[in-house]
Amino acid sequence: MILSAVSDTRKRESFDFIDISSGYADMDRYDIFVDGQRIHHAISEEEMEDVTQDLADDFYQTGTPHPESVDVIYIGSDEE
């Protein structure tokens, strides 16, 4: 649940919290495979970006995994 503080204009020191998460879009989910082996399942787009950056850093430093051996597969959103 994501909460946002909304101040009461009549009393500056009081706050009400409202749920604003209902307006957010569903999260896209991804699987990541290296050499045909699934290493991550149903991760968020943000997590996928972090993992692929880590894989790119590993390739730069060690030469593995080769980018051609990495597959990122979109598997849908939370609501699908």
Q: Among 49, 16, 20, which residue's Cα sits nearest to residue 57?
A: 49
pTM for this one? Answer: 0.67
State the pLDDT at residue 57: 98
Query: Which residue has better confidence, 70 or 24?
Result: 70
In the chain, what percentage of residues exceed pLDDT 70?
68
CB 50 within 8 A of CB 40: no
Q: Which residue reads 């996928």 in tokens?
A: 48
In the chain, what percentage of residues exceed pLDDT 90?
64
Q: Which domain holds residue 53?
A: 3-77
Domain count, the chain: 1
| 17-47 pLDDT per residue, tens | 444 454 456 899 999 999 999 999 999 999 9
Q: Among 63, 34, 31, 64, which residue's Cα sits nearest to residue 45?
A: 31
